[in-house]
Structure 1
Amino acid sequence: GKPTKSISEQLADGISFFSHKYPEMKYLAYFQSYTNTYDSIQKLIEMYEEALAYPDVVGIIIGTRPDCMPDELLDYFAELNKKTFVLIEYGVESTLNKTLERVNRQHTWEESVEAITRTAEREVPVGVHLILGLPGETDEDILSHAVEISKLPLTTVKLHQLQIIRGTAMAKEFRLLPESFHLFGLEEYVDLCVDFAERLNPDFYIERFASQSPKSLLIAPDWGLKNYELTEKV
């Protein structure tokens, strides 16, 4: 369900966590899940404006699905982008429709391309999020994602390894059919990230190579290191 804290209260919590260590730091407000593009457009704009009015917030990032971005909202972001930093980040996850269907994403690669194109046409920076190692994908399939997304007008890319999270449909499938999954070992994944980066458009910024879910939620793989430690290995 929706959290009870207001946007300002959530920002206050997040900023207080970092402000003692980094007193000069400025912040980007990141909207995802319940707070991105599922609400009425006017309600969304009010939330974005509330975040941007908060002290030391200098821009916003919107994480959303590629099939949830109406033109009216993109037009708003195009105007907003003239005044402050805006980045739209689409959860593409894979460039292969067979994989998107397999994991029940309920959107296609073509819809991702269309959303990215519509966003970039308005000169709003665009990012994508990909999961490396989804069921049924070979290393060749994964590396082909780098080639395919390199054809698009992107600014940023976020990668993360497939993780099996407790209580999900995939966790149930993993328990019943573990042979359907290839979960990367740490060194194997580092090598894959290097190969991926070598095939990627050099103009793109790679913002992340991996993500670590809390141990209480994570079934596998448990590499036992922090994101920055993995990035240093890459």
Structure 2
Amino acid sequence: MRVQLSSDSTAVHAIDVTNVTSQKTIVSNLGEFFTIDVKIGDVILLSSKDLETLRIKIDQRDIEKEVLTVNMGVKSIVLKEVIINESGVSSESLGIIPYGQKKYTPAERRLYTATTGGGIDGLLNTISGRKAMIKKEIIVEKKEQLLAKIDILFEDNYYIETLKIPELYIKGFQYYCIDDISMANALRAKNKTMVLFLIVKLAENYNEILALESK
């Protein structure tokens, strides 16, 4: 298949083009024509330091084109968290809490209180099921964190056009993904390459489930 890569970026970028299915990789530049061996169903991964990573699943229409033109978006820089600490003043440096003490999420703090309350209060907490309830809150809290991670990785168009997930089922598919242990670990590790690899198979499984439910 003959391919040409383009982008709104004016700079010249070396782009890794990998056939994930056959595990073969070539390197190309924007504007250049190149050929790569593919068949229907193969997944092509396009990645560059300064451009958004793309994953394309080859279909019959792609094969029939004389030249497959792919536009790659410029990678945006997202500042997720900015910490200003010029003075070095913190609760640890002031002696309020010991250095290196574990920091808990709100739900984890409530579980710690319920577990270490001691005496009759600790007994009542156990009997009332408060600890069990808080443990459920922690699970929900951690899933919400994973959901937030996967939500910012891909545009809806990627789910619809590339993964063939119906628009109404995108959120359900995201929940399906974070329940997968390998995907959850990849999201926590911020391993986008692994996330991209796993999400294709998960999408195939999810679409099969939708097809069975629609019968």
Using the size of structure 2 for normalisation, the TM-score is 0.23
Which of these two proteins has the greater Rg computed from alpha carbons?
2
Using the size of structure 1 for normalisation, the TM-score is 0.22
